[in-house]
Amino acid sequence: MIQFKKINALQSYLNQQRMNGKKIGFVPTMGALHAGHISLLETARKACDLLVCSIFVNPTQFNDPKDFEKYPITLDTDIKLLASANTDILFLPNVTELYPEGTAQLEKYPLDFLEQILEGEFRPGHFQGVCQVMKRLLDAVEPEKLFMGQKDYQQCMVVQRLLDITGKRIELITCPTIREPDGLAMSSRNRRLSPEAREKAIGIYKTLEYINANLKKGHLDSLLKEAHTLLEKTGFQIEYITLANAKSLEIRNEWDGSSEMVCLIAAFLDGVRLIDNMVISK
Catalytic residue numbers read 37
Closest approach, Cβ 68 to ligand AMP, in A, equals 13
Q: Counting contacts by CB under 6 A, is residue 201 touching ligand AMP?
A: no
Residues 6+ apart with CB under 8 A from 272: 189, 190, 192, 193, 197
25 counts as binding ligand AMP under rule CB under 6 A: no
Comparison of 209 and 254: residue with beta carbon closer to ligand AMP: 209
Q: How many helices (H) and strands (E) does the chain have?
A: 11, 11
Query: How would you class 86 by CB atoms within 10 Å of its CB: exposed for 0-12, middle for 13-18, buried for 19 or more?
Result: exposed
Choose which of 14, 24, 30, 261 interacts with ligand AMP (CB under 6 A).
30
Closest distance to ligand AMP from the beta carbon of 45 (Å): 15
Among 177, 190, 242, 277, binds ligand AMP (CB under 6 A): 177
CA torsion through residues 28, 32, 37, 41, sign: positive
Member of 36, 129, 143, 203 binding ligand AMP (CB under 6 A):
36
Q: Determine the longest span between alpha carbons in the chain, in angstroms.
A: 58
Interatomic CA distance for residues 162 and 196, integer angstroms? 39
- Does 40 contact ligand AMP by CB under 6 A? yes
Chain residues binding ligand AMP by CB under 6 A are 29-30, 36-37, 39-40, 148-149, 151-152, 175, 177-178, 185-188
